[in-house]
Chains A and B, each alone.
Chain A
Amino acid sequence: MTSSMRISRLISRSLASASLLARGGGNGYLSRGLSKYSTASAALEEPIKPSIQVEHTQLLIGGKFVDAASGKTFPTLDPRTGEAIAHVAEGDSEDVDRAVVAARRAFDEGPWTKMTAYERQKILLRAADLIEKHNDELATLETWDNGKPYAQAAEIEVPMFVRLIRYYAGWADKIHGLTVPADGSYHVQTLHEPIGVAGQIIPWNFPLLMFAWKVGPALACGNTVVLKTAEQTPLSALYAARLFHEAGLPSGVLNVISGFGPTAGAAIASHMDVDKVAFTGSTDTGKIVLELAAKSNLKTVTLELGGKSPFIVCEDADVDQAVEAAHFALFFNQGQCCCAGSRTFVHENIYDEFVEKAKARALKRVVGDPFKGGIEQGPQIDSEQFEKILKYIRSGVESGATLETGGERLGDAGFYIKPTVFTNVQDNMLIAKDEIFGPVQSILKFKDLDEVIRRANNTRYGLAAGVFTKNIATANTLTRALRVGTVWVNCFDTFDAAIPFGGYKMSGQGREKGIYSLKNYLQVKAVVTPLENPAWL
């Protein structure tokens, strides 16, 4: 099925279920025709009822769904309303212990680690097939729990999840060590061995994609996993993990713990029997994870943390394209992206035109129930984020930035915020320094290349950057000068299984995706033996 067919099918289905909506035709996802909606009216509709039931709310340990040892549960909330979707077993350190024991046994005793890489690959490929088959259920859970537009989940994120698992499946039997030249008569090899039990802590903004970024390479390399999901979004991972087991993943290889950071997350990071921890989340929490790893067993750590990524629009850029890309770079996923282009630097000669168009584009952004077709922006994840974003907006106004549009909540239920654009933003303002993680675009003016390089790099973060220019020399200069892990030239948020992603500076350590991600889950063992009378060295 082509993606356009799929989109129109999904949109018409969404519209059909939204019987209160009078709008017919429904084929205008992201089209300008939608601008006739005022953002306010779209959000005030009665929430659309999702088409599925929540099947899995327990912890997944040793291949079985089980209650928490304490018997405790926590509600996971629908960000459209703030009401509970389901009550989920709450994992704590005792549950983490059980999961680590299961993972340890699966690693030490097999069969997972002892089967050939080819067999592991087949299981991962079967899992990818099953996920593809259950695309719509997973996408529904994702939207329900997270608030992201359904079309985004169903057409982009779940297919990307499938793509990533297939990508890593292909790596499983291509993980090569080296034969190494020695100075003397020795035969030297390096073996790339799985590291052991990997603890993985993932955030709520892309629950399934972060699952794939972490679990994919860990399993391809032959590790076993204890995965802790975010307390805001536990549902899709439990469903996906079940499909991995249906595909033949042995018990104990992939354990999923729902729960909170300070309890379950901390238990993983400080566990003496977890060999590696990979964390995606805020920079402040990343520091805690690294500290716990240091204080416990010196487990190796991968961190993918916050950002305040510059999006630089040069004088020669196509302004219309740049406006659209800058808008997307910031507002995509409700602005809840670690790599969001949250500092939009615009050259002074095109600044006025850019601002006018960026504001117009933000005003057209369609905010509303993410299950509804044509919606571009759903609610923020929860009340805490919602309040934090509104606080940053107030700070922007107080510090003297010009609020061009937005700046307040939308409706009176759920966590919707109007697309917000600030101009005349100065580098020292809080909104230009802190990661807001919401739909708040800050536009800054610059004069020349050296200046914008200096200002773009003047941050503790270094996750990503966008560069808009037609000039090959400008592109080359900026690409090398920016101290960030990803530079998108004339594009943004272009993710692909093979493109590595990760941060410079306080945006993290290590790289995920691509060939580089394998390094996170492998140990290197050197094997040395003397050679007698070698024919060559």
Chain B
Amino acid sequence: MASLSNGHSIDIKFTKLFINGQFVDSVSGKTFETIDPRTGDVIASVAEATKEDVDSAVQAARHAFDSGPWPRMSGAERGRILMKWADLIDQHTEEIAALDTMDAGKLFQYCKMEVPSVANMLRYYAGAADKIHGEVLKTAGKFHAYTLLEPIGVVGHIIPWNFPSTLFFNKVSPSLAAGCTMVVKPAEQTPLSALFYAHLAKLAGIPDGVLNVVPGFGKIAGSAVCSHMDIDKISFTGSTQTGREVMQAAAKSNLKQVSLELGGKSPIIIFDDADVDTASQLALIGILFNKGEVCVAGSRVFVQEGIYDEFEKKLVEKAKAWVVGDPFEPNVQQGPQVDKRQFEKILSYIEHGKREGATLLTGGKAIGNKGYYIEPTIFANVKEDMLIAKDEIFGPVMALSKFKTMEEAIERANNTTYGLAAGIVTKNIDIANTVSRSVRAGMIWVNCYFIFEHDIPFGGYKASGFGKDYGMEALHKYLQVKSVVTPIYNSPWH
């Protein structure tokens, strides 16, 4: 039993590995503690997967793919099972939301919206399962040729801790719709909701071995997934540094296909014609949503000089009014950072910012002496060579600066190794069009931010990764293209 802030408590039902349709202990018998970031206290001990457990999960997935019913049933049947899974998730919204809040320090109010939205994502891909088309081709010779889109096989998914539910389903849903089987490794900080989803998957009728969940650590379980000789594809979301290791392991083992959704240092560019009140609100949420633990956080904010002073004033007012506290409380806008390590890393970046000579407008300190709470922090006069303008901090720390011309803003926005997302705030259609096409990033939000939809492909340029999540693009990550060619004789047309 784990306690919530309001005196209620929640029963943690699933703490073992989920392999071949069963909850099992790890081969080594080892466990690890998952921590409540509000207090640093232990929520539960969870079975820790090591290489042997990954092996048995892959074996189950391999068998389910090579001989099981999942890839052999029609897309329509797979879709129906996925729909049923989505219905079961909807019936457990509060319980799952509480697991994510407790495990990750995310706002309970938000998680209660996130869980139904992952059910909808599942339904989106359930509807796609019977719409996977290859093409019948034109050839330059007298041949009939067509393509078959086949499921790629056993997929390894490695998921981070910042959105344990959303990022579980934006990987699992399209790969299941495609007919793949899989081994999912959730983050060691947030294993609980993934295990709950696995339980519901079994109830929905997903055959044993199709979906395996192995909580554990990156260096051990994650690494075993990446270098496994019998995994056909790896999909990873996390830091750019770990992404490099994932890709190297794939290269050194069986050349499995890789898709990476990595870090960012996304710009929000606000032009003189913007409504200052709306724009400052958008920029504030752009960095503070989910305590800044978002790969697409708008961590570099560029404001045009004509409105800069007014913007800065409003932004700071709003940041000071921002409520940090227990994420189970309905009025709270920001919970604790996910763990001690992140907490300390963020504070050290803040110190760096001060030393580098940026102006600290507000925030800059930890809150209280228990848990991992940090004040909303805004630095102004940030120069491009400062660490806080270059590195992904993954916390509630904004780097604010001023610009004169659109050309300058574009150049500075692109002056980063990352290319995940960008925000543009302007009423002017020509500015919106020019900047949208000029910024080298995979997602451009014009007069909005953080808008994710099941149908909108998402993924990075440059060191932010490759391969898209969401949309029909994501489905194609989990499909192989096979060309079939045969001669034709006496065709009346060609």
Contact B179 A183 (CB under 8 A): no
B322 → A minimal CB distance (Å) = 28
Chain B residues within 8 Å of A222, by CB = 493-494
Interface-facing stretch out of A167-175, A389-397, A402-410:
A167-175
Among A157-180, those with CB < 8 Å from B are: 172-180
Q: Pick from B139, B447, B494: contact of A115, CB below 8 A.
A: B494
19 additional A-B pairs beyond A181-B74, A472-B446, A489-B429, beta carbons within 8 Å, are A114-B493, A117-B140, A118-B138, A174-B138, A176-B138, A177-B136, A178-B134, A179-B134, A181-B75, A184-B74, A189-B136, A471-B427, A472-B426, A472-B427, A473-B447, A475-B429, A490-B430, A536-B72, A537-B72
23 A-B residue pairs with CB within 8 Å: A116-B140, A117-B494, A174-B138, A176-B135, A176-B136, A176-B138, A179-B135, A179-B136, A179-B146, A180-B133, A181-B75, A181-B133, A190-B136, A469-B429, A470-B428, A472-B427, A472-B428, A472-B446, A472-B447, A490-B429, A534-B72, A536-B179, A537-B179
Contact A116 B141 (CB under 8 A): yes
Task: Tell me if B73 is interfacial: C-beta within 8 Å of chain A.
Answer: yes
Chain A residues within 8 Å of B428, by CB = 470-472
Task: Tell me if A67 is interfacial: C-beta within 8 Å of chain B.
Answer: no
> Which B residues contact A (CB, under 8 angstroms)?
71-76, 130-142, 146-151, 179, 426-430, 432, 446-447, 491-494
A488 → B minimal CB distance (Å) = 13
Chain B residues within 8 Å of A178, by CB = 133-136
Task: Tell me if A182 is interfacial: C-beta within 8 Å of chain B.
Answer: yes
Among A106-133, those with CB < 8 Å from B are: 108, 113-118
Task: Tell me if A42 is interfacial: C-beta within 8 Å of chain B.
Answer: no
Contact A536 B446 (CB under 8 A): no
> Which A residues contact B (CB, under 8 angstroms)?
108, 113-118, 172-184, 189-194, 222, 469-473, 475, 489-490, 534-537
With A and B bound together, what is the CA distance between A191 and B74 in angstroms? Answer: 22
- Closest A residue to B65 using CB positions: A536
- Closest A residue to B75 using CB positions: A181
Contact B140 A191 (CB under 8 A): no
Q: A113-B492, A181-B130, A470-B429 are in contact. Are A189 and B146 (CB under 8 A)?
A: yes
Q: Determine which residue in A116, A194, A222 has the highest number of CB atoms from chain B within 10 A of its CB, and name it.
A: A116
Chain B residues within 8 Å of A535, by CB = 71-72
B402 → A minimal CB distance (Å) = 23
Q: A118-B140, A537-B75 are in contact. Are A473 and B133 (CB under 8 A)?
A: no
Contact A179 B147 (CB under 8 A): yes
- Closest A residue to B153 using CB positions: A536
Contact A114 B135 (CB under 8 A): no
Q: Which are the 5 A-B pairs with shortest beta-carbon distances? A: A177-B136, A179-B134, A118-B140, A176-B135, A536-B71
Q: Determine which residue in B140, B430, B446 has the highest number of CB atoms from chain A within 10 A of its CB, and name it.
A: B140
With A and B bound together, what is the CA distance between A183 and B80 in angstroms? Answer: 12
Chain A residues within 8 Å of B132, by CB = 181
Contact A116 B139 (CB under 8 A): yes
Chain A residues within 8 Å of B138, by CB = 116-118, 172-176
- Closest A residue to B146 using CB positions: A179
Q: A472-B428, A472-B429 are in contact. Are A537 and B134 (CB under 8 A)?
A: no
Contact A470 B130 (CB under 8 A): no
Contact A114 B491 (CB under 8 A): yes
- Closest B residue to A118 using CB positions: B140
- Closest A residue to B130 using CB positions: A181
Chain B residues within 8 Å of A193, by CB = 493
B393 → A minimal CB distance (Å) = 31
B132 → A minimal CB distance (Å) = 5
B315 → A minimal CB distance (Å) = 23
A236 → B minimal CB distance (Å) = 30
- Closest A residue to B131 using CB positions: A181
Q: Pick from A179, A470, A475, A534: contact of B133, CB below 8 A.
A: A179
Chain B residues within 8 Å of A489, by CB = 429
Chain A residues within 8 Å of B72, by CB = 534-537
A174 → B minimal CB distance (Å) = 6
B482 → A minimal CB distance (Å) = 10
- Closest A residue to B137 using CB positions: A176
Chain A residues within 8 Å of B492, by CB = 108, 113-114
A202 → B minimal CB distance (Å) = 25
Contact B429 A192 (CB under 8 A): no
Q: Determine which residue in B74, B149, B429, B492 has the highest number of CB atoms from chain A within 10 A of its CB, and name it.
A: B429
Chain A residues within 8 Å of B429, by CB = 469-472, 475, 489-490
